Structure formats: structure tokens, C-alpha cells
Structure 1
């Protein structure tokens, strides 16, 4: 009997240790991403003449929003067809070279997480934006796994803290801040109910033009994973969820919405993304 109890206790401790190890690996991957490999070969791309070219980049080395990435691909294809744009979809970083980047009107980091580009490729993207290019980020593109100051400062103008967990997905009203560029608000209502994983940032995005926001007091922003963490705070009544910034001669657009495949069936969200793309190629 004693031996049986000892075996049970040993199995329980082993289970707890394995669970803790798995949780530790999970947190590490979310924050730092691994393994990291960099693609260096330039792809062969046939750019059609007379069509605006858009690069959709969905490489991940951190948390992967697989279902959302798959669903968004179909949405981007329909948007491109509707507007007569050329869409190049890839998860290979070799396209981030000056010669090919300058042929794109816009680059989308589509739920791209972790460190996905090496130093030379990062320099190529920052130069592309500084010289007049456009960088757009969707949801996971704004988390804290990228570890690239230029990217964080230029795309976000703030820093990611956590996202809602209790509950994970929550419905709330998205409000449109319709003062400003009318292109970005085409076909959008003044507000709509939307369900998503709501990102919380440490402060308001700096030097940003807010396009959409929620009332952060009407969601539960608790992002605590474990005892002892302090992530039970939000951004208050004015909680931006989509904005753009001017960077050098270029510009950036970011929306923290876009977590699940269901989000990519929300026509208002799709209009928001399409408007941002249309605005980016003007």
C-alpha cells in the first residue's frame, strides 16, 4: 500500500513538473519565439504592369493564429480581386530586400509574430517605410514578441502589455472616430458589436490618428496567467483598437482586432481592413 501511494505521489509530481515545463515553454515562445530561421533567397515575382502590388506576410516564430491566418488569406484575395490589385502572399522573409520591396505599395504583417526578419531585412523594411512605403499590422503583429524597437515605435507608438483572458473572447461595441480621412471610414457604421481578443497596451499610442476605439471599462481586461502577476488593468474608457501613424515619408496602420477566423467574417472589420489598404496605395 505504501509503495502504491509512493508511486501515485511520484506520478503526480512528475505530471506537475511536466505541466510546469510545458507552460514555461509556452510562455517563452509567446514572448521570444523559437526556433528562428531566416530565409535569404529572393523569390521570383512577376509583377503585373498597371496593378498596385500588396505583400501579405504571415510568418510566425511566436504564437501562431493559424485559423485567422487561413481565413484572412481568402479575404485578402477577394479584396485584391475587387480592387484590381496584385496580391503576393508569403511566409518567406527573402522578399524583404530593397529591390523587391520598393515594388509593393503596401506590406501587411498579417498576425506575424516573433522575430521573423534578420538585421538586413529589418533595415530594408524600415528604409522602405522611411522612403514612402506603407506597413500595416493585424492583431498579433502588435504583440511583444518582435523585439525590434523601430518596428514597435513605428507601427504602434506604444507597447503591448497583455490581452483579455477571463473571458478570452469578449463582445463589445467598436466606435469609429470619423474625424479626418474619409477614405478610412468608407462603408463603416458609427459603431458595431464585435467579438475579439482585446489587446491592452501600456499607454495610448503616441502621435497616432485613432480610427476606432472601444470603451475599455466595458470589457474585463484581466490578463493574469499565474498567481503573482499584475495584469488586471485596462486602458480606460478610450481604448484605441485601430490607428495610423506617419513615419518619415511613409505611414503605418495597425488594428489590434483580428484574432480568430470568425473575425474575418465580420463585414465591418473587413471594410476597415479594405479601407486601410485603399488608403495605403493612394
Structure 2
């Protein structure tokens, strides 16, 4: 009997170790920080063409794969469109003088408590006075909950968890509403990602939900939001336009044509970069 119990225990232990190892080695992240920046970086821009600020500082989980893929895609996009782009992990770039030079601020998998109080105030003022803001994936995880304006105004909901076994899965995205950000996208498409879940729909806080994920198309585990599971939504904050996308954990996300189109149109909309978006 003891031998049987030891054998069963050994099998369970091996399985647990295997699952944990698979999760850790398949998830390109580490925990860092918190560290804060006081001196801003040098920002070199001209006044002629639109400018994007891509911010990927991590004082929480670092999505190395997703950060690199987002930066690569956004740099190629900016080059194609004739947009200027600045990529930094220096939180002190969030000051009134520097932010005023950008059409859109993009938090690409930025995580953790990132900004000093005056830097938070600068971003809030920038957005409410007409600046565009886009948050990608970890920009909406649970590590931002100590900043009430960001949590309530930008996100409008709270992260509760994500898929675990496996944490990245194929699932079906469903279009919920017509909007310039999703113009021309199909009614459904397949997307490979880690799927975030939230405590409520951001629609209750005034957001317009653009895309849902169909929970019947993957294994959500205990983190469900039936019947509606939003993954992309837009909001206004004062005069500013904001978008949050829960998509973007893996590099493969940024190779998906539909997601590339969505991010392109999101930048145009949030930054009012085309005549029809002004």
C-alpha cells in the first residue's frame, strides 16, 4: 500500500513540476522593480510629421517577447506611414513638455507602478486635453490598480486573471460594433494569445466594446466572463481618445494581419491622424 501511495505521489509531483516548468519556460517574463525615473530622456523630433511614443517600462511582469514584437511592428509601421517614433523605458518622459510633442502615447506591455505622482498628472492632463492613448496587454493587468484615474478612466474594469494551462491558446475573436478602429475587419477571426479576464465589462464605465473573445473556442479555466468577454474597447477621457487591447502577449499576436490592421487604425483614430478621424 505504501509503495502504491509513493508511486502515485511521485507521478503527481512529476506532473506538477512539468506543468510549472512548462509555464515558466514558455512565458518570456521576469519580475523587476519597482524603479522610478527622475531625469527625462532626450527626445529628438521635428514639428512636421506625427509622432508616436512607445513606452515599455516594466516594474512588474516583463513580457519580453511581446515587447520586442510590438516595438518591431510599430517601428515598421511608422516608417511606412512617415510617422516619427520614440521608444523608451524612461518614465520621466511623461512630462508636459515632452508629451505635448506626441500625437499618441502607446503603453506596449508596460507593467507595474511606473510613474511618479507628477508624471501621472502629466499623462492625465495630456490625455484629457486631447492626446491619444493606447494600452496593450500588460498595460491592463492588475499591476496598475493603485492609480485610480488610470484604472477607472482608461481601463474601466479590473484584471482578475488569465488562461494558464496552456496560457497561450487559439481562440475566436468576434466583432461587436462598427467603429473606425475595426473598419474592414472580419466578423470573426482566429487569434493566438494569452487571454485576460476582467471583473466586469468596461461598457459599464462608458467604454465602447469593439471585440470579444468567444469562450467556447478555447479553455478559459476559472477566469470566465460569460456571456460577454471583451478584449478591445475604446473610451474618451476629456478631449482625449483612448483604446485598450488585452491582445499582445506573444510575438505571434503582432504577426496577425487583423491585429496589425486594428493597431494601425487605432493609432490613426486615437491620434486623429487622418482627416476622417478629426
Q: Shorter-normalised TM-score: what interval?
A: 0.7 to 0.9
Aligned partners of 1:108 and 1:154: how far apart in 2?
16
Matched with 2:27 is: none
Residue 194 of structure 2 is aligned to residue 197 of structure 1: yes
Matched with 2:86 is: 88
Q: Is the 8 A contact 2:232 2:245 kept in 1?
A: yes
Q: Is the 8 A contact 1:158 1:204 kept in 2?
A: yes
Q: Is the 8 A contact 2:162 2:223 kept in 1?
A: no
Residue 210 of structure 2 is aligned to residue 211 of structure 1: yes
Matched with 1:164 is: 163
* Larger of the two Rg values belongs to structure: 1
Q: Is the 8 A contact 1:217 1:237 kept in 2?
A: no
Shift of 1:221: 1.9
Matched with 1:268 is: 258
Matched with 1:183 is: 180
Shift of 1:176: 1.6
Report 1:132-171 matches (<5 A).
132-146=130-144, 147-171=146-170
Q: Is the 8 A contact 1:60 1:116 kept in 2?
A: yes
Report 1:216-255 matches (<5 A).
216-222=215-221, 232-255=222-245
Aligned partners of 1:209 and 1:258: how far apart in 2?
20
Task: For residue 79 of structure 1, give the secondary structure of its aligned residue in structure 2.
Answer: helix
Which runs of no fewer than 5 residues in structure 1 stay unpaired? 1-18, 20-25, 27-32, 223-231
Aligned partners of 2:89 and 2:257: how far apart in 1?
26
Task: For residue 99 of structure 1, give the secondary structure of its aligned residue in structure 2.
Answer: helix
Query: Over residues 31-86 of structure 1, what are the superposed CA-to-partner deviations in whole Å (9 max), with x where a residue is unaligned?
Result: xx652221121222222222111100000010000011111111001111121111
Which runs of no fewer than 5 residues in structure 2 stay unpaired? 1-16, 18-23, 25-30, 273-278
Query: Alignment RMSD, CA only?
Result: 1.9
Matched with 1:109 is: 107
Q: Is the 8 A contact 1:97 1:124 kept in 2?
A: yes
Per the normalisation by structure 1, the TM-score is 0.81
Aligned partners of 1:111 and 1:163: how far apart in 2?
15
Shift of 1:261: 1.0
Report 1:125-136 matches (<5 A).
125-136=123-134
Q: Is the 8 A contact 2:160 2:223 kept in 1?
A: no
Aligned partners of 2:40 and 2:168: how far apart in 1?
39
Residue among 39, 46, 49 paired with 2:47: 49
Per the normalisation by structure 2, the TM-score is 0.83
Q: Is the 8 A contact 1:154 1:252 kept in 2?
A: no
Aligned partners of 1:35 and 1:113: how far apart in 2?
10
Q: Is the 8 A contact 1:144 1:161 kept in 2?
A: yes
Number of residues of Structure 1 aligned to a counterpart in Structure 2 = 243
Residue among 71, 76, 79 paired with 2:77: 79
Aligned partners of 1:45 and 1:35: how far apart in 2?
24
